[in-house]
Amino acid sequence: MDVDQLTGSPKVPTADPEAPMAVVLLSGGMDSLTAAGVALRDGLALALIHFNYGQRTEEAEYRAFLRIADFLAVPEQRRLVVHTNFFALAGGSALTSSKVAVPAADLDSKGIPVTYVPFRNAVLLSMAVGWAEVLGARRVYYGAVSQDSSGYPDCRPPFIEAFNRLVTEGTKPESGIQVRAPLVDMTKAQIVQAATQMGLPLEATWSCYVRNDFACGACDSCALRLRGFEQAGIQDPIAYGRPVSFGREAARERVRRLSVLLRALTQAS
């Protein structure tokens, strides 16, 4: 998917009820919302699958899912909510275990953070592909982002390519199902721009890893979201507790802007 083509998208269309179908993994975040918008723009009718898996913000994400599904006018029979306690039982992630704290954002880190849920996307995509095969849908969309993200291994192009080979081998020959991640090479700023240009309800989305009432503003996901809106030059429509700094690069940019402003004020006086 061409990034320029995405960010230049028209307002999100209404799906033709007779159109071919796509299953979209809709967590309730802005990435999955934008992936759903792209599927609609591609001329596909939506079937939405959502997972409650014991994540800290399960309540807020489910609330966001319902608001988005209503906005997109997806009928009840094409909304599937799956409850699984596997990830909570397995542990190993700050998102699903009360024994592992969610750290403050560190957007300069190159390692895989403790908020990574081991092999989550492979498990969830497997369920989505199974439902797609039942529905006769040939496309599964999910909002993986690799370029401007926390560095999760199951959000990278090689994972998507490998998973599609698995889908081909593990489904009926006539199924023809393909997993697509249309945002994988986009930055958060480009995603914000694309969602805005498609008329998608970013105010309905939830990104925070910690809270269910208002976004904490301090975790990695909040930081990535806030930086994306800042770089896109668009006001984030949701409420935050306390904002985060975006690392050394953004700090240097703020210093540069302040220096320019001070020089301008000095010259004006």
Q: What is the pLDDT of residues 73-121, one digit of tens each?
A: 999 999 999 999 999 999 999 999 999 999 898 888 888 999 999 999 9
Residue 169's CATH number: 3.40.50.620
Residue 75 domain flag: yes
Digit-coded pLDDT (tens) for 213-234: 999 999 999 999 999 999 999 9
Q: What is the pTM of this model?
A: 0.85
Q: Where are the alpha helices (DSSP H) in the chain?
A: 3-7, 30-41, 58-71, 86-90, 120-135, 157-170, 188-197, 220-232, 248-268
Residue 19 domain flag: yes
Residue 238 domain flag: no
Indicate whether 61 pLDDT > 50.
Answer: yes
Residue 259 domain flag: no
Indicate whether 5 pLDDT > 60.
Answer: no
- Cβ atoms 197, 184 nearer than 8 A: no
Please state, for a pLDDT cut of 70, what percent of the chain lies above it: 83
CA distance 222 to 239: 11
Backbone phi and psi for residue 82, each to the nearest 5 degrees, phi listed first = -105, 130
Residue 77, number of CB atoms within 10 A of its CB = 8
Closest by CA position to 225, among listed 142, 60, 18, 240 = 240
Among 75-84, 126-135, 248-257, whose mean pLDDT is lowest?
248-257
Q: In the prediction, which pLDDT does 256 show?
A: 54
CA distance 84 to 171: 23
CA distance 189 to 191: 5
- Cβ atoms 148, 183 nearer than 8 A: no
The whole domain housing 152 covers: 3-207
